[in-house]
Amino acid sequence: MCLAIPGKIVDVLEEDRSLALVDVLGVRRKVDLGLLQDEPPETGDWVLIHVGFAMSKIGEADAREQLRMLADLGESDAAMEEVRGYGLEDG
Amino acid sequence: MRFVDEFREPELITRTADEIRRLANPARHYRFMEVCGGHTHSIYRFGLKDLLPSNMDLVHGPGCPVCVLPMGRIDDGLSMAERPDVIFTAFGDMMRVPGTKGSPLEYKARGMDVRIVYSPSDALKLARANPDKHVMFFAIGFETTAPSTALTLMRARAQGIHNFSVFCNHVTIIPAIRAILDSPDMRIDAFIGPGHVSTVIGCRPYAWIASNEDKPIVVTGFEPLDILQSIVMLLRQLKGKEKRVENQYKRAVPWEGNRAALKAMAEVFELRPYFEWRGLGFISQSALRIRESYAEWDAERRFSVPGVRVTDPKAAQCGEVLKGVLKPAQCKLFGKECTPEHPVGALMVSSEGSCAAYYNFEHRKRVVQIRPAVQEVA
Amino acid sequence: MTSVVSKIRFRDPQVEMAHGAGGKASRRLIDGLFAPLLFGSVPVPLGDAAHVNVNGTCVAITTDSFVVSPLRFPGGSIGELAVNGTVNDLAVSGARAQALVVSYVLEAGLPTEILEAEVRAMADAARAAGVIIAGGDTKVVEHGKADRMYITTSGIGQLIPGLSISPAAVRSGDKILLSGPIGDHGITILLARGDLDLEADLCSDTRSVLPLVEALAEAVGAGVHWMRDPTRGGVATTLNELAHDCGLGVVLAEDLIPVRDQVRGACELLGLDPLHIANEGQFLAVVAAEQAETALDALRKTPGGQDAALIGEIGEQPAGSVLVTTLYGGSRMVDMLVGDPLPRIC
């Protein structure tokens, strides 16, 4: 139920705009875009592929945001620890 | 590999694991259930349990569509393969699953036309290319996979392809989660929520878990950083005594789900009144069947199937492992009568089933870190 | 002559596909039926080739059957596999192939041009590998009784001086070397079958590894404790066999294992592990720790060995098993395959 991989659309096929050629590290396959017809993806977009169908568009901004949040992990807490060490808090 | 490697970055993983250890209350024992078999597979494949504190248990949920398929249904599907004019197609996951007279691969070895497909659309293509044969596609999967089957059936109708049918064994995730929560011996603190199912159904269907059952649930991706970040989010909720649905897998999961996918499913499928889940018993409104309007492409209607119910040996404790009451190694048959090579119960049959995953990846692990020695010479 | 009936431990009622896949089931068949009946006087464990004493001279001898579909694929064909496979089995047993004999089982109706292409391929591969094809045999069976053609090659070789390899020579602390990227052959075949509708710029890695083995022998000689070529079942199966045979543990560092992008992409898409995928032009060597760097250097300097890597080491634990570790401290066991690796969607 769960194996889905991000792939880049290298060509939206002309014969049938519901089909695209998708690339995953140099491996290519025609992927059905039929489930994304409400907001059809374009060449260059990244999509999540499951059993030969594109399930959703990958949000690059969301990915960046998530990595930023992870990179910040522990930093604000570490800063808090340091401040606590100064004994400035009540109780 | 873009959108994959960044979420396997070792330094970030170490830092997130540190945060988990920092947030975990040493006086508490945490039990988190990951519902989806794909998460079970990721957890073992990336060795994530090694990074978690000892007061944290990951309990494997029932989200493995191969595991929950009763043997009788496999027999039904294979009975169609016995017909000389039928090409039996299925995903690779199904190929070694034993029916009472053997698995699809064993049927193939005996001379029947059994083929692996990567996509239901490939099965349809096979039907187009073989007009004198009938191609039957054995469909399995949760809501992640059902829309693709639905769209394929819609295409079959639109293209007038009549030598094609689907044996529909799609199941839905919410009733499975409900069955877990209704179980009296259940003791789960929070859920690592399904990731790819949620690309279709969105995050709203989990609201009752937070509001009625008082359990946090975080919709989660499948890379190590996704799962670890999800655990951080669950710990923060538990610490703050919150009970919410959160979306950790924002880059792939829209909160509202995929409307077009849901529409395709509604067009082609309807809910069965009840369906038997191997290990969990009969659950109402938990599985899909093909609508009357697509009857012509419904393998169950086109072929008469034995429909025999096959019960698992009493000694197999799949149900308890599925519900998280027992760990795989605690089942009496584990590793002895029941191994991936000769599975007795459902959970050993698929590589993402709890028992198979544990057997393949974990159960002989006795070693501690040796990495520094390897790094020297390289 | 005592009866060996009681030593037969193979209990399966019939032969199944899994018995030929090179994994656990194959092992059961070999250990449980063939070995007790055929190899009574030969000491086990069995390697890729047997070393027999012919009037005081020790020679290596081996045989292998080649069954592949499709017959031709990017990077090679059944003919090349048939030559390189046997040359390699001899090489990793520590021998330089001198001569091969070949046996063809052909399906009636096979077009001559296909047969000719494979025979040419064998001649070319033999020339490239520096081995002569000294003779052969042909049988033709009815249409439907063979999948176009099956080729069996048997080879005889001279032992490479200075090498003395066996699982018994393997020690805790030894390093594990791999000659190059894994998975190329198996993924090429999978894609060439066409069922999965995937395309990639990838070809089989079929080649003779003899030059690399000779470079290794010259550089460190007795420092090489064990070698094998990871064909069907992949690196995972081969190293599990080693762990089982020497009773020690194999620990690999995942980030050090060379895998081409396309192989990785195909494996991620299909849910496969590169460690389980077949190779036809690579080998694994276990080398004494203090000579590992010299060994690696020698491989890298030899044409075709530029991607050689040190991928792990032997330890006391996990005894009899293979463990893969990651940079961030996670680990997983890797087992032998039962049958061929199957794509998954879950």
What pLDDT shows up at residue B371?
39
Q: What is the mean pLDDT of residues B279-283?
A: 89
Burial class of residue C140, CB neighbours in 10 A (0-12, 13-18, 19+)? middle
B56 and B107 share one domain: yes
Tokens representing C33 are 């039926």
Residue of B nearest to A6 (CA): B3
The complex's ipTM works out to 0.93
pLDDT at C46: 65
Does residue A91 lie in a domain region?
no
Per CB-CB distance under 8 Å, the chain C contacts of B64 are 346
Task: Give yes or no: residues B1 and B56 share one domain.
Answer: yes
Among B48, B367, B373, select the one facing C249 at the smallest CB separation. Answer: B367
- Whether the predicted pLDDT of C41 surpasses 80: no
Contacts of C342 in chain A (CB under 8 A): none
Q: Which of B119, B141, B260 sits opposite A1 (nearest CB)?
A: B141
Does one domain contain both C32 and C54? no
Rounded to a whole number of angstroms, the distance from the CA of A61 to the nearest CA of chain B is: 8
Instruction: List the domain range (segments joined by +) for residue C72.
Output: 48-159
Q: Does the CB of C12 have a partner CB in chain B at under 8 Å?
A: no
Judge whether residue B213 has pLDDT over 70: yes
Neighbours of chain C (3+ CB pairs under 8 A): A, B
Q: Residue A40 is part of a domain; what is its CATH number?
A: 2.30.30.140
Residue range C261-284: average pLDDT?
97
At B370, the pLDDT band (50, 70, 90 cuts) reads very low
Which range marks the domain in which residue A51 is found?
A: 5-85
pLDDT reported for residue C43: 54
**Whether B171 and B56 share a structural domain:** yes
If one counts the domains in chain B, the total is: 2
Residue C266 lies inside a defined structural domain of this protein: yes
In A, minimum Cα distance to C260 occurs at A25
What is the rounded average pLDDT of the residues B39-64? 94
Mean pLDDT value of segment A41-46:
96
- Mean pLDDT over residues C149-154, rounded? 97
Q: Are residues C188 and C257 in the same domain?
A: yes
Residue C234: closest CA among C216, C200, C259: C259
User: In this structure, are C106 and C74 located in the same domain?
Assistant: yes
Is the pLDDT at C337 greater than 60, yes or no? Answer: yes
The yes-or-no verdict on residue C6 having pLDDT over 60 is no
Do C232 and C117 have their domain in common? no
Structural domain of B143: 1-312
Structural domain total, chain A: 1
Ramachandran bin of C271, using left for φ above 0, alpha for ψ from -120 to 50, beta for the remaining angles: left
Which tokens is C154 given? 């048997």
**pLDDT > 90? residue C212:** yes
Establish if C197 touches chain B: CB-CB under 8 angstroms. yes
Q: Do C180 and C317 lie in a common domain?
A: yes
Looking at residue A76, what is its pLDDT? 62
Same-domain status, B273 and B326: no
CB contact under 8 A, B252 and A59: yes
In-domain check, residue C96: yes
Domain with residue C231: its CATH number is 3.90.650.10
d(C-alpha B348, C-alpha B335), whole Å: 10
What pLDDT shows up at residue B311? 84
The answer to whether residues C135 and C53 belong to one domain is yes
Instruction: Tell me: pLDDT of C45 over 90.
Output: no
> Could you tell me if B356 and B293 lie in one domain?
no
pLDDT given for residue B360 in this prediction = 85
Question: Left (φ > 0), alpha (ψ -120 to 50) or beta: where does C144 sit?
Answer: left
Residue C155 half-sphere exposure, CB side, CA atoms within 13 Å? Answer: 30
Predicted pLDDT at C290: 98
pLDDT band of residue B207 (cuts 50, 70, 90) is: very high
Mean pLDDT of chain B: 92
Q: Assign A78 a pLDDT band (cuts: 50, 70, 90).
A: low
Q: Check if B213 contacts A (Cβ < 8 Å).
A: no
The answer to the question of residue C52 being in a domain is yes
Looking at residue C156, its amino acid is: I
Question: Is the same domain home to C323 and C210?
Answer: yes
* C335 touching chain B per CB within 8 A: yes
A32 in a structural domain? yes
Kindly state whether residues C18 and C95 are assigned to the same domain. Answer: no
CB atoms within 10 A of CB C319: 15
Same domain membership, residue C134 and residue C27: no
pLDDT at position C14: 86
C293 touches chain B (CB under 8 A): yes
Average pLDDT over residues C23-28: 84
> Which of these three, C136, C159, C182, is where a domain ends?
C159
CB contacts of C335 in chain B (<8 Å) are 360
Residue B359, pLDDT above cutoff 80: yes
Q: Report pLDDT for A79.
A: 61
* Residue B214 within a domain: yes
Per residue in B233-262, pLDDT (tens digit) is 999 999 999 999 999 999 999 999 999 999
- pLDDT exceeds cutoff 70 at A10: yes
* Cβ-defined contact of A58 to B252 (cutoff 8 Å): yes
**Is residue C1 assigned to a domain?**
no
B361-365, C127-131, C329-333, range with the lowest pLDDT: B361-365
Residue B21 and residue B129 in one domain: yes
Facing residue for C333 by CB, picked from B38, B122, B364? B364
Does a structural domain hold residue B368? no
What is the nearest CA distance from A13 to chain B, expressed in angstroms? 16
Other Cβ atoms less than 10 A from the Cβ of C56: the count is 5
> Is C10 exposed, middle or buried (CB count within 10 Å of its CB: 0-12, 13-18, 19+)?
middle
A26 lies in some domain = yes
Looking at the domain assignment, is residue A31 inside a domain?
A: yes
Does residue B138 lie within any of the structural domains? yes
B190 and B134, same domain (yes or no) = yes
The pLDDT of B259-278, averaged and rounded, is 97
pLDDT tens-digit series, residues C166-182: 999 999 999 999 999 99
Are C56 and C126 contained in the same domain? yes
Residue C343, in any domain of the structure: no
Of the listed ranges B237-251, B356-370, C67-81, C190-204, the one predicted with least confidence: B356-370
* A34 in a structural domain: yes
Are B305 and B328 in the same domain? no
Q: Are residues B132 and B218 in the same domain?
A: yes
Closest CA–CA distance from residue C242 to any residue of chain B (Å): 16
Closest approach of B201 to chain C, Cα-based (Å): 17
Collapsing DSSP to helix, strand or coil, B140 comes out as strand
pLDDT per position as a tens digit, B153-165: 999 999 999 999 9
Identify residue C326 by its one-letter amino acid code. Answer: T
Whole-number average pLDDT of chain A: 86
Q: Does residue C70 form part of some domain?
A: yes
In a domain, B58, yes or no: yes
- Of B274, B293, B312, which residue constitutes the final position of a domain? B312
> How much is the pTM?
0.93
Residue C129 maps to which CATH number? 3.30.1330.10
Answer whether residue A57 is part of any domain: yes
- Mean pLDDT, chain C, rounded, equals 93
Q: Is residue A90 part of a domain?
A: no
B174 C-beta neighbours (distance < 10 Å), count: 18
Does B377 fall in a domain? no
Q: Do B253 and B342 sit in the same domain of this protein?
A: no
Domain boundary residue, one of C159, C187, C215: C159
Domain count, chain C: 3
How would residue B326 be classed by pLDDT, with cut points 50, 70 and 90? confident
Co-location of C151 and C227 in the same domain: no
Considering the domain boundaries, does residue C8 fall inside one?
Answer: no
